[in-house]
Structure 1
Amino acid sequence: EMVLLEAVLNWAEAECERREIEPIPKNKREVLGNVLYLIRIPTMSLDEFANQVAPLKIFTLDEIVDFFYHFTANKKPSLAFCTKPRLGRKAQICHRFQSCAYRNNQWRYRGRCDSFQFMVDKRIFIIGFGLYGSSNGDAEYKIKIELKRQGKCLASKNYSFYSDGSSRTFHVYFEHPVQIDPEHFYTASAILDGNELSYFGQEGMTEVTVGHVTFQFQCSSE
Structure 2
Amino acid sequence: MESNWQDDLSLLESMDYMLTNEVDCDISFKLGKAGSDVVPAHKFVLASRSSVFRAMLYGPLAEKSCTVDIPDVESGIFKCFLRYVYTDNCAITSDNVTALMYTAHKYNVRRLVKECGQFMMDNMSTANVCTIMENANLFDNRELRQKCLEFIQNQCTEIVESKLLTSLGPDCLGEVLRSEELDAKEEDIFAAVVSWADCRCTEKCLEVNGSNRRQVLGDLLYLVRFPLTSQKTFASISEANENLLSLEEQVVVFRGYATGNFSNSPFSSKMRSAQVQTKEYTCFRFQGNDIKDSGTMWSNNSKDAIMFKVSEPVYIVGLILFGCKEGSTTYNVHVEITELGQKVHTTVASTSTEKTFQVNFTEPVAVNRDTNYTLTVFLNRGPCTYYGENGISNVDSGSIKFTFSSSYLSTNSTGVSRDRYMESHFQNVDTLQV
| Range into which the TM-score falls when normalised by the shorter chain | 0.5 to 0.7
What CA distance in whole angstroms lies between the structure 1 residues aligned with 2:354 and 2:393? Answer: 22
3-state SS of the aligned residue for 2:337? strand
Matched, 1:106 2:300: no
Tell me: higher relative CO, structure 1 or 2? Use CA pairs within 8 A at least 6 residues apart: 1
Give the corresponding residue for 2:90: none
CA deviation map 1:141-173 (0-9, x unaligned): 111111011xx522x222222211334432212
Change (3 A) 1:215 1:38: closer
Identical-pair percentage = 24
Change (3 A) 1:182 1:34: closer
Give the corresponding residue for 2:230: none
Change (3 A) 1:169 1:86: farther
The one-letter code of the counterpart of 2:389 is: Q
Shift in Å, 1:201? 1.2
Which of 383, 394, 405 is residue 218 of structure 1 equivalent to?
Answer: 405
Give the corresponding residue for 1:115: 305
What CA distance in whole angstroms lies between the structure 1 residues aligned with 2:370 and 2:291? Answer: 29
Structure 2: runs of 5 or more not aligned: 1-173, 182-273, 410-434
Residues 136 and 197 of structure 1 are in contact (CA less than 8 Å); yes or no, is this contact kept in structure 2?
no
Higher radius of gyration, 1 or 2 = 2
How does 1:1-222 map onto structure 2 within 5 Å?
Answer: 88-98=277-287, 99-109=290-300, 111-149=301-339, 152-154=340-342, 156-222=343-409
Change (3 A) 1:86 1:138: farther
3-state SS of the aligned residue for 2:390? strand
Residues 135 and 196 of structure 1 are in contact (CA less than 8 Å); yes or no, is this contact kept in structure 2?
no
CA deviation map 1:102-121 (0-9, x unaligned): 23443222x21111011111
Residues 335 and 378 of structure 2 are in contact (CA less than 8 Å); yes or no, is this contact kept in structure 1?
yes
With normalisation by structure 1, the TM-score equals 0.56
What CA distance in whole angstroms lies between the structure 2 residues aligned with 1:105 and 1:117? Answer: 24
Residues 127 and 174 of structure 1 are in contact (CA less than 8 Å); yes or no, is this contact kept in structure 2?
yes
Higher fraction of helix: 2
What CA distance in whole angstroms lies between the structure 1 residues aligned with 2:310 and 2:179? Answer: 36
RMSD: 2.6
With normalisation by structure 2, the TM-score equals 0.30
Structure 1: runs of 5 or more not aligned: 1-31, 40-84
Residues 136 and 198 of structure 1 are in contact (CA less than 8 Å); yes or no, is this contact kept in structure 2?
no
The one-letter code of the counterpart of 2:292 is: A
Residues 133 and 166 of structure 1 are in contact (CA less than 8 Å); yes or no, is this contact kept in structure 2?
no
What CA distance in whole angstroms lies between the structure 2 residues aligned with 1:135 and 1:210? Answer: 29
Higher fraction of strand: 1
